[in-house]
């Protein structure tokens, strides 16, 4: 099959819609369930590229949670801590490495991941399918599915859940094209290999870059390669914890992603872990309540009636001072940027979220100022010389 008709394009009024291969070639995907749409396939193909590169770079199974052609989260299959198990709502049962990767990709920014499209680097196993079955999601792409996993996923959303199988041997042509306003654009595919050699040009006084930070920098830069620009990515222990995508200003990317990273840290605060939700409260409602609770004006947002519907016991406030003190405990965070930092304010903001290691292309007329700001906080920064814009 070299063509697949879609329900509609980006919006219901955009018809007809299809994906197809030119020159009669076969599509490298098979739809096993559901009817994926235009945006679903954009998320699926970008996500698939991301996880295959993460797997190749780290040797670990990888997963990503995509929304509107940018990742909400991405991670490799490192084991979950007890605290991560709790904040990701996965319980105490053993999980496969792939399931750990998805739990971490989905759990980093659960608000943004609501209704995600999932990409998995490896065959979807039963553990991973069980986690997916409990979340609000549009679909999944993977190189294969175990019999048990496929049975679980085909039962999701009354059989309409989108399940796509992709041929892992598929390799696209080196030249890619797209049309905008009836005009065809053509460019060479971004086949840049993001390997550890990219981080050898350390420009700061501190040049101690541990192996764990190299892996996290690879995760950050690979994630940025498939994130709508401008973009920055915070990574901690093998998972993206804050992604700022599609902003016109670099500092807005850094603030947006930093705020998401802070929320990830705050979800682990003892007061948040101790929240007593009403029995039967759905995951999405718990996520929303937590997001409001750790926000700036939580008492104004949640009135007495909402507290009564959400919690068994009205929680004590999480004060601004407590939040600041808790976030300050986290160090060793890495940060990648798809283009150079034009000012040192980005570094100042990154420092507030525990960033220690950074990678960026370099090339700003204010590089000296940016380096000096890093030196002020004893950070380690690499100049990669490579820009990673994605549109």
The residues annotated with a catalytic role in the active site are 67-68, 230, 391
Instruction: Name which of 388, 138, 52, 108 is nearest 235 in CA terms.
Output: 108
CB neighbours of residue 164 within 10 Å? 23
Question: Cα separation of 349 and 355, whole Å?
Answer: 9
State the virtual CA torsion across 289, 354, 192, 74 in degrees, nearest 10: -20
In eight-state DSSP terms, residue 121 is S
Question: Cα separation of 62 and 105, whole Å?
Answer: 9
CB neighbours of residue 1 within 10 Å? 10
CB neighbours of residue 42 within 10 Å? 16
Question: Can you tell me which residue has the tokens 């204010």?
Answer: 366
CA-atom Rg of the chain in angstroms: 21
DSSP string of 289-358? HHHHHTSTTHHHHS-HHHHHHHBSSPPPP--HHHHHHHHTT---EEEEESS---STHHHHHHHHTTEEEE
Q: What φ, ψ does residue 380 adopt, rounded to 5°?
A: -115, 120
Which two structure tokens, joined as six digits, stand for 212?
């764990």
Question: Cα separation of 190 and 188, whole Å?
Answer: 6
221 close to 388: Cβ distance less than 8 angstroms: yes
């Amino acid at each position: 099959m070299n063509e697949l008709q879609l329900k509609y394009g980006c919006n219901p009024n955009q018809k007809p819609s299809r994906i197809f291969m030119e020159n009669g070639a076969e599509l490298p995907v098979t739809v096993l369930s559901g009817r994926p749409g235009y945006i679903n396939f954009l998320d699926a193909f970008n996500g698939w590229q991301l996880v295959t590169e993460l797997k190749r770079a780290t040797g670990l199974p990888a997963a990503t949670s995509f929304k509107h052609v940018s990742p909400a989260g991405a991670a490799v299959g490192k084991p979950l801590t007890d605290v991560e198990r709790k904040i990701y709502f996965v319980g105490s049962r053993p999980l496969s490495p792939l399931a750990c990767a998805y739990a971490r990709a989905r759990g980093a920014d659960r608000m943004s991941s609501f209704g995600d499209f999932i990409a998995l680097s490896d065959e979807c196993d039963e553990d991973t399918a069980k986690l997916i079955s409990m979340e609000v999601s549009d679909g999944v792409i993977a190189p294969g599915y175990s019999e048990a996993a496929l049975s679980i996923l085909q039962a999701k959303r009354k059989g309409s859940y989108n399940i796509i199988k992709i041929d892992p041997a598929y390799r696209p042509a080196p030249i890619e094209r797209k049309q905008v306003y009836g005009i065809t654009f053509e460019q060479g595919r971004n086949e840049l290999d993001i390997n550890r050699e990219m981080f050898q040009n350390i420009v700061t006084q501190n040049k101690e870059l541990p192996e764990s930070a190299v892996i996290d920098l690879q995760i950050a830069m690979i994630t940025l390669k498939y994130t709508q620009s401008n973009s920055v990515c915070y990574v901690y222990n093998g998972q993206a914890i804050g992604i700022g995508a599609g902003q016109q200003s670099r500092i807005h990317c850094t603030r947006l992603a930093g705020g998401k990273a802070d929320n990830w840290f705050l979800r682990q605060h003892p007061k948040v872990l101790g929240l007593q939700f009403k029995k039967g409260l759905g995951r999405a409602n718990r996520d929303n309540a937590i997001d409001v609770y750790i926000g700036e004006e939580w008492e104004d947002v949640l009135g007495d009636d909402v507290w009564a519907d959400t919690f068994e016991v009205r929680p004590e406030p999480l004060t601004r001072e407590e939040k600041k003190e808790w976030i300050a405990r986290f160090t060793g965070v890495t940060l990648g940027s798809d283009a150079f930092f034009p000012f040192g304010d980005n570094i100042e903001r990154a420092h507030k979220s525990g960033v220690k290691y950074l990678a960026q292309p370099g090339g700003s007329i204010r590089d000296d100022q940016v380096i000096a700001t890093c030196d002020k906080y004893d950070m380690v920064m690499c100049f990669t010389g490579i820009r990673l814009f994605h549109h």
